[in-house]
């Protein structure tokens, strides 16, 4: 299911096969929270910008339109017309960041919907049932995502419970995959490492979940308040205990530089809302650093966003036109900018894979890790 084809130091070039296709790794997954990509991108657009894996959000789709409806209409792939690999998160992150009136118990979490205040209960079994109804290829374990920093004793109790929840997730998904009428019986489970910023808890937790022989392992609870160096340190602490023959997914990370640095530390899967969110604020990535198109200096700039980019936007539109669209508050500004930024991220991963294939990853990292952190 996952095969490491090549290594450059700790960095891995791999292939992950799931029911809807084979994913070349390292990979950046493109976020379609509610079964649609922000900025009015369609499933067809995703193909055109080099997306390999679409990521949707369990919590949002459970609340609206409801996972049972999506199940009854043939699953999320059919509903949104995306026929490639798909990952769904567990809902945990949104329950802890969006929902209100939250009560965490051993059985799961009681909370109120952010849309209509309706009371909802979600535990490991419920999360698996929803993700099974959606029919993604990769289901994520239901966990508690804690903000950093948090007190040691709280983090310890939390990640012990998250471990117990993971065992329940595994049992429940096994059960669901065996039932008749399951949308995607080949759905697999990725576990999520937690433990806050405490090395010993992170390592203990990673060792325990590794024993469960899951299809993949994520590092969660990072990029939620801690300094970048702490994030890199935790990856380095945990990585030696992650099974070498399973993909590693760093959740919610990050800038192009963060991704290059995490690949260098052995990570294979990424996702982040940053490229779409930045795009909506006219902050666009280029191979020389990021630019803000609202800047007056682009008012009469006839060049593309990035002369070194061959995305559908850079091939056709000028910075001057895009800047006008932003100033005039035209929706098209968002769409074209999101397309460019997601293409940039997908292209970043392509370049990382090419570098790994050619044993040039160190040189690539040396050239781009700092440059892509700049603003020009």
CB nearer to its own copies: pick between 107 and 299: 299
Nearer to its own copies, 115 or 244 (CB): 115
Closest separation in Å from C-beta 30 to its own copies: 14
Smallest distance from its own copies to CB 281, Å: 15
Q: How far is the CB of 71 from its own copies (least distance, A)?
A: 11
What is the Cβ-side half-sphere exposure of residue 323, based on CA atoms within 13 angstroms? Answer: 18
- Measured in whole angstroms, the distance separating CA 234 from the mean position of its chain's CA atoms is 18
CB atoms within 10 A of CB 351: 16
Q: Which is nearer to its own copies, 32 or 195 (CB)?
A: 32
Q: What's the closest the beta carbon of residue 282 comes to its own copies, in angstroms? A: 14
| b/e 222-232 (16+ beta carbons within 10 angstroms → b) | bbbebebeebb
Residue with smaller CB distance to its own copies, 81 or 97: 81
Structural contact between residues 16 and 26, judged by C-beta atoms closer than 8 angstroms: no
CA neighbor of 102 nearest in space, from 144, 42, 165: 144
For binding to its own copies (CB under 8 A), which residues are involved? 34-44, 60, 64-65, 69, 72-73, 79-81, 299-300, 302, 316-318, 320-321, 323-325, 327-328, 330-336
What residues have CB less than 8 Å from 272, skipping those under 6 apart?
28, 31, 223, 252, 253, 254, 345
List the catalytic residue out of 45, 268, 271, 306: 271
Please name every residue paired with 250 in a beta bridge, in sequence order, or none if there are none.
219, 270
Residue among 45, 89, 143, 306 flagged as catalytic: 89
Pick the closer one to its own copies by CB: 23 or 333.
Answer: 333
Q: Is 89 a catalytic residue?
A: yes
CB of 204 to its own copies, least distance (A): 40
Q: Which of 275, 265, 299 is nearest to 347 (CA)?
A: 275
Active-site positions read 89, 271
């Amino acid at each position: 299911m996952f095969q490491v084809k090549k290594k450059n130091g700790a960095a891995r070039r791999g292939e992950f096969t799931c029911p809807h296709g084979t994913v070349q790794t390292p990979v950046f997954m493109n976020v379609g929270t509610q079964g649609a990509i922000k900025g009015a991108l369609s499933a067809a657009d995703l193909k055109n910008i080099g997306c390999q894996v679409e990521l949707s959000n369990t919590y949002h789709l459970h609340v609206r339109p409801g996972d049972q409806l999506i199940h009854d209409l043939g699953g999320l792939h059919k509903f949104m017309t995306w026929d490639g690999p798909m990952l769904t998160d567990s809902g945990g992150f949104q329950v802890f960041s969006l929902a209100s009136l939250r009560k965490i118990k051993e059985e799961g979490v009681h909370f109120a919907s952010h849309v209509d205040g309706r009371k909802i209960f979600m535990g490991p079994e419920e999360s698996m049932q929803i993700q099974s109804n959606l029919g993604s290829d990769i289901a994520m374990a239901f966990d508690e995502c804690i903000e950093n920093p948090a007190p040691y004793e709280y983090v310890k109790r939390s990640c012990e419970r998250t471990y117990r929840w993971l065992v329940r997730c595994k049992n429940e998904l096994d059960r669901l995959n065996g039932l008749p009428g399951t949308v995607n019986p080949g759905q697999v489970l990725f576990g999520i490492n937690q433990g806050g910023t405490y090395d010993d808890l992170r390592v203990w937790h990673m060792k325990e979940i590794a024993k469960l022989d899951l299809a993949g392992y994520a590092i969660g609870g990072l990029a939620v308040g801690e300094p970048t160096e702490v994030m890199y340190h935790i990856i380095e602490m945990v990585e030696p205990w992650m099974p070498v023959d399973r993909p590693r997914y760093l959740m919610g990370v990050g800038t192009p530089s963060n991704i290059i640095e995490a690949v260098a530390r052995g990570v294979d899967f990424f996702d982040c809302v940053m490229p779409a969110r930045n795009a909506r604020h006219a902050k666009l990535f280029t191979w020389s650093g990021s630019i803000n198109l609202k800047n007056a200096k682009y008012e009469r700039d006839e060049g593309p966003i990035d002369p070194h980019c061959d995305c559908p936007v850079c091939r056709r539109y000028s910075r001057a036109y895009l800047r006008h669209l932003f100033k005039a508050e035209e929706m098209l500004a968002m769409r074209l900018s999101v397309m460019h930024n997601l293409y940039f991220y997908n292209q970043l991963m392509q370049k990382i894979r090419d570098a790994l294939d050619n044993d040039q990853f160190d040189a690539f990292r040396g050239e781009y890790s700092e440059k892509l952190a700049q603003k020009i």
